[in-house]
Structure 1
Amino acid sequence: MKRILLSLALGAAMLAGPAQAQEPIRIGVIQTLSGPAAVLGQQARDGLQLAVRQLGGRMGGREVQVIVVDDELKPDVAVQRVQALIDRDRVDFVVGPIFSNILQAIHAPVVNSQRTFLISANAGPSSYAGRGCHENFFVTSYQNDQVHEVLGAYAQRQNMKKVFLLTPNYQAGRDAMAGFKRHFRGEIVDEVYVPLNTLDFSSELARIGSSGADGLFTFMPGGMGVNLVRQYGQAGLTQRVPFLSAFTVDESTLPAQQDAAIGMLAGMTWAPNMDNPQNKKFVADYEAAFGSVPGSYAMQAYDAAMLINSAVVATGGNLSDRAAVRTALRKADFTSLRGRFRFANNHYPIQDFYTVRAAKRPDGKFQTEIVDRIFENYTDVYAAQCQMRW
């Protein structure tokens, strides 16, 4: 009887082994998919799903299951939904979110879980780039300050003497201010923070118009950026006070801003017209699938999926050894759509940064286009404070 029971147990174990190995890799995607900023989350969701589709729905020989949830731009909602991804859906990776306040809410539950890695495909607050860095947290976008640093360096090169600063009042807005100031040596004539999701900028525009500024620097993502650019032109400021921005004039906002945004400068790590084979295919495939021009949100999420795929392939599809998965993620052995890309010791990218300009294509669609490289192989300033060494 003991031999029979042992044989049955061994047989069951042998059957369970292959079945378990064939469980899908589960990727939880948490993005803002409702409200004025929904277009940003939709781009990120679509970019990641395009990558999975191009991989044939498999990574390392295993099926991939993508589970998408909406954080509603509410930290408490985000915590509840990411906890469900971890506990109920048992995801292997969490990708997202767009906004830094959401990332701050979900960071601890994900990175301290027993099986899940957190990969931010957009938000990159300073709080996790330095002393708060974590071995289970990776970023495929940038450290928040860096894109804004591009505009500060540009304003300095253009010899602007006085600049007006305008951002939303949350972590990414504060990082934006800090980033711009890092390379700008002129006078800050005013520094204004508005509530997140502000859509009426009439009082701020009046202050800009009377400030005597040589330029405006702003960070207004999503619907905020759409309204600001429209109202800026209506107030007659476009020709008087040059408009410098990050995440305000991009592929997520240009379809609504259209001609009002043409010529406005921004900073970014990439643009749809970046000249490399993988990016040309990505842009063509994205436009064919979704009918719109991809922006950085889509690009970064696409790269996040390819980063995950590189780790799954490197570990032979075995995600049970977290140290091995972490080592594979750190190697970033994939071809980024932006070209050069590798991780610093804090798991934020080392990459190039550019000024980009809003333009209208011959087919009537709008996109940003690369103007000049401002920083090359740039590591964020907080990496030196991170204690991780590998």
Structure 2
Amino acid sequence: MTKHAKQLCALLSLAFIASGTQAQVRIGLSAPLSGPVAVVGQDQVDGFMLALEQSGGKLGGQPVQVLREDDQLKPEIGNQITRKFIDKEKVHAIVGLGFSNVLMASLKVLTDSGTVAIATNAGPSPMAGASCAANVFSVAWPNDGAAESMGKFMQEKGHKRVYLMAPNYQAGKDMLAGFKRYFKGEIIDEVYTQVGQSDYSAEIAQLQAAAPDAVFAFYPGGMGVNYIRQLSQAGLLNKIPNYSVFTVDGTTMPALRNAAVGTVSGAMWDAALDNPENRQFVAAFTAKYKRVPSEYAAAAYDAARLLDVAVRKTGARYTDKKALAVAVKAAGQEFKSVRGPFRFNRNNLPIQNYYAFQVTGSGANPTVKLLGTPLANHGDVYTSKCRLP
């Protein structure tokens, strides 16, 4: 073989390898996979991977590579992961993106890159408003959406004096602001605790002394388990009506069991929702992972199904960042969400239902029942600040 022929073969081999790489959709999936909220991240991973498995390991008919990273609930780590996904791994989309404090640390990098980003556990108010971007989406919720529904629900229940609690970070502040937007009674106190705090005895003593009509709280993951257990141990769950968001859900119920009985939660999803897509999802998730999914798993499952529609719409052009972002926005109108009604608002956050659920029953395995839909087809108040068309 001549030198020229050898060079030509080498070039053809490189072209083949490159084309093979380009024919694979690369997804970066970041979430907290260690520490007290690891269950929140793991549910997102499991929900996303289940949807991929059901589509034959493909998105839009294209083979997929998923790169997983643990943000450790640290904004600086999340930012490093985002940069790695974009600059080194050249991913076509990033999913997950952690808690609001982690997402906010990467928001400018994501926006500047043009890479499609789909949050499955956050919708901080700046991202919904002035910092909205054409390539950045949340398939989960505006942070305060579920809290708004509980404010409305508790207002309609006739509570007059309410005590508020949340961890001191962006989502905690958004949640309590959303609650107050719809609850018009007296706020006795508004208490912010440390992120990751495990002992709430001092705060619970203050709550008990305040003697409110009801308490509303936001404590996800392990924080929620500790908060509810300590309320129960103090005997307050039977004395003060307990309302919350992201506190009593699929990630915390296995640990809480009957300690959570009586609590009422606002959410865009629960396993108790009765629609064909959700029945299929809950059955498949439970069979595969031997546990009931949470809203985090549902959001990540929806993210994969959304991407499946979007990649199919772009065809070979899924490598075009702008084309994929446009397709994701359009796919929000088309795919069937496990939560029921869903579409993207102008700011790329969901318009969806927010439901009220209550833990009922007794014994080791209580059940969750749907109480109603305080807010139907609900958007957010930040869209007016968003510059997207």
TM-score range, shorter chain: over 0.9
Contact 1:254 1:367 in 2 (8 A): no
The aligned counterpart of 1:100 is 100
Q: Secondary structure at the match of 1:319?
A: helix
Q: Equivalents in 2 of 1:175, 1:383: separation in Å?
A: 15
Alignment-derived partner of residue 120 in structure 2: 121
In 1, the alpha carbon distance for the partners of 2:131 and 2:82 equals: 20
Q: Assess if the C-alpha contact under 8 Å between 2:130 and 2:386 holds in 1.
A: yes
Gaps of 5+ in 2: none
Q: Deviations over 1:204-241 (max 9, x none)?
A: 11111111200000000111110111110111111211
The answer to whether the Cα contact below 8 Å between 2:258 and 2:362 also exists between their aligned partners in 1 is no
What is the identity, as a one-letter code, of the residue corresponding to 2:120? A
The more displaced of 315-324 and 206-215 is: 315-324
The answer to whether residue 173 in structure 2 is matched with residue 174 in structure 1 is yes
Question: Which residue matches 1:196?
Answer: 195
2:273, 2:339 within 8 Å by CA — same for their partners in 1? yes
Equivalent position SS for 1:112: helix
Q: Which residue of 1 aligns with 2:211?
A: 212
Please tell me whether the aligned partners of residues 116 and 321 of structure 2 are also in contact (alpha carbons under 8 angstroms): no
Provide the rounded CA distance (Å) in 2 between the counterparts of 1:91 and 1:217: 40
Gaps of 5+ in 1: none
1:29–1:365 Cα change, 3 Å: farther
Return closer, same or farther for 1:279/1:77 CA change in 2, 3 Å cut-off. Answer: same
Does the C-alpha gap of structure 1 residues 121 and 227 become closer, same or farther in structure 2, counting only changes over 3 Å? same
CA contact (8 A) 2:149 2:179 kept: yes
Cα distance between partner residues in 2 of 1:153 and 1:98: 28
Separation in 2, partners of 1:128, 1:158: 32
More displaced, 136-145 or 365-374?
Answer: 365-374
1:254 alignment counterpart: 253
**Offset at 1:277?**
1.3
Partner of 1:351: 352
* Correspondence for 2:40: 40
User: Is the 2:150–2:374 contact (alpha carbons within 8 Å) kept by the matching residues of 1?
Assistant: no
Query: Cα gap change, 1:62/1:201 in structure 2, threshold over 3 Å: closer, same or farther?
Result: same
1:275-294 equivalences in 2 (<5 Å)? 275-294=274-293
Question: What amino acid sits opposite 2:193 in the alignment?
Answer: V
CA–CA distance in structure 2, aligned partners of residues 47 and 14 of structure 1 = 36
1:156 maps to which residue? 155
Match for residue 242 of structure 1?
241
SS at match of 1:35: coil
Residue of structure 2 equivalent to 1:326: 325
C-alpha separation in 2, matches of 1:360 and 1:24: 48
User: Relative to structure 1, is the Cα distance of residues 97 and 17 closer, same or farther in structure 2, using a 3 angstrom cutoff?
Assistant: closer
Cα distance in 2, alignment partners of residues 325 and 360 from structure 1: 46
1:85 match: secondary structure: helix
Opposite residue 180 of structure 2, the aligned amino acid is: K
- Farther off after superposition, 272-281 or 286-295: 272-281
1:272 and 1:143 map into 2 onto residues whose CA distance is: 20
Residue pair 1:293, 1:367 contacting (<8 A) in 2 also? no
| Counterpart contact for 2:242–2:262, Cα < 8 Å | no
Cα 1:110–1:368 change in 2 (3 A) is farther
The letter of the residue matching 1:261 is A
TM-score under structure 1 length normalisation = 0.93
Identity %: 41
**Amino acid of the residue matched to residue 32 of structure 1?**
P
Q: Provide the C-alpha distance between the structure 2 equivalents of 1:358 and 1:27, rounded to a whole number of angstroms.
A: 36
Q: Deviations over 1:132-157 (max 9, x none)?
A: 11111001011001110111111110
Give the Cα–Cα distance (whole angstroms) in 2 for the partners of residues 323 and 210 of structure 1. 55
> Alignment length, in residue pairs?
382
Q: Which residue of structure 1 aligns with residue 53 of structure 2?
A: 53
Q: Partner amino acid for 2:372?
A: D
In structure 2, the residue matched to 1:28 is 28
Write the letter of the residue equivalent to 1:61.
G
CA contact (8 A) 2:140 2:299 kept: yes
Q: How does 1:367-386 map to 2 (within 5 A)?
A: 368-386=368-386
Moved more, 97-106 or 246-255: 97-106
Which residue matches 1:341? 342
1:188–1:219 Cα change, 3 Å: same
Per mean C-alpha deviation after superposition, the further-off stretch among 174-183 and 16-25 is 16-25
Q: Deviations over 1:7-39 (max 9, x none)?
A: x69x94996499357531011110001001000
Q: Tell me the residue number matched to 1:136.
A: 135
TM-score by length of 2: 0.93
In structure 1, what is the Cα distance between the partners aligned to 2:222 and 2:47?
20
User: Superposition RMSD on alpha carbons, in Å?
Assistant: 2.1
Q: Equivalent residue for 2:84?
A: 84
Paired AA for residue 155 in structure 1: M
Q: C-alpha separation between the residues in 1 aligned to 2:311 and 2:378?
A: 27
